[in-house]
Amino acid sequence: MRVLFLGDVVGRSGRNAIVEELPRLRERYALDFVVVNGENAAGGFGITEQILIELLDAGADVVTTGNHVFDQRETLVFIERHDRLLRPINFPQGTPGKGAGLFKTKNGADMLVINAQGRVFMADLDDPFRAVEREIEACGLKTGTDAILIDFHAEATSEKEAMGHFVDGRATALIGTHTHVPTADDQILRKGTAYISDAGMCGDFDSVLGMDKEEPLTRFLTKIPSGRFTPSLGEATLCGLAIDVDDATGLARAVAPLRLGGRLSQTEPAFWLAES
């Protein structure tokens, strides 16, 4: 099974890149399942229903989020209508939406997707380790589902690495999001789980984390806000992680970063290109 995860979509630049490139990537790599983190898709803060539908129509099977999920107030309502939009599972009980779902892949397999949020340097939500544990116990790898992908939206790399080892051998992939900067530690952990500390973002890297540079620079230099953060509108780089899944075990056989377009060095998953 071929799975592609695309990191945080930031503003119009990131959205346009997804809409233009994802259909081609699904065909080029013969993808079975695509997950996109869309929590910064609406002007850098949250997601609207229209944008969600655009991402799904472009080829995303599931859209995950993070700490900005409810920045657009309408999300509190429409998230209940869309099973393919997830918010962090460790939000308090009673929060609209859900943090995990079981989905069908293109090749007919079952994929459990879990969205969780870290607590180090972030809002003090419920324990993400216990929340993820409950989901895996209820729907285990090869006992309740064929594969398990976890989007762990967290600030601290230590917390992400700890979560990776916590689920190693029990999940297909643990993918870090939130910092918008792709890390170079993509690997398969000792017991077979694909891991990366941060998949990066789908946005303009001539920026400060996808935002126009002027306002962040002003705040760093003067400590005085002069306006709102607005997404940078230059050419986006699509950043993500490609995972080749062993259908027999549900664990990762190969993993590689994806970076296409924009300013960063370009890379594609060689193990899929060699088979095409």
Q: Which two tokens stand for residue 250?
A: 């549900």
CA 171 to CA 164: how far, in whole Å? 9
Q: Across 73-118, where does the E strand assignment appear?
A: 100-104, 110-117
Burial class (CB in 10 A: 0-12, 13-18, 19+), 241: buried
For residue 16, count CB atoms less than 10 angstroms from its CB and return exposed for 0-12, middle for 13-18, buried for 19 or more. Answer: middle
Catalytic residue among 68, 153, 178, 180: 68
Question: Cβ–Cβ contacts within 10 Å for residue 190, how many?
Answer: 9
Residue labelled with tokens 């997950």: 35
Please give the Cα distance from 247 to 241 (Å, whole number).
Answer: 18
Q: Could you count the other beta carbons within 10 Å of the beta carbon of residue 223?
A: 7
Cβ proximity of 23 and 54 under 8 Å: no
Q: Is 153 tagged catalytic?
A: no
For every residue of 12-64, DSSP letters joined together read HHHHHHHHHHHHHHHHHHT-SEEEEE-TBTTTTS---HHHHHHHHHHT-SEEE
Residues assigned a catalytic role: 68
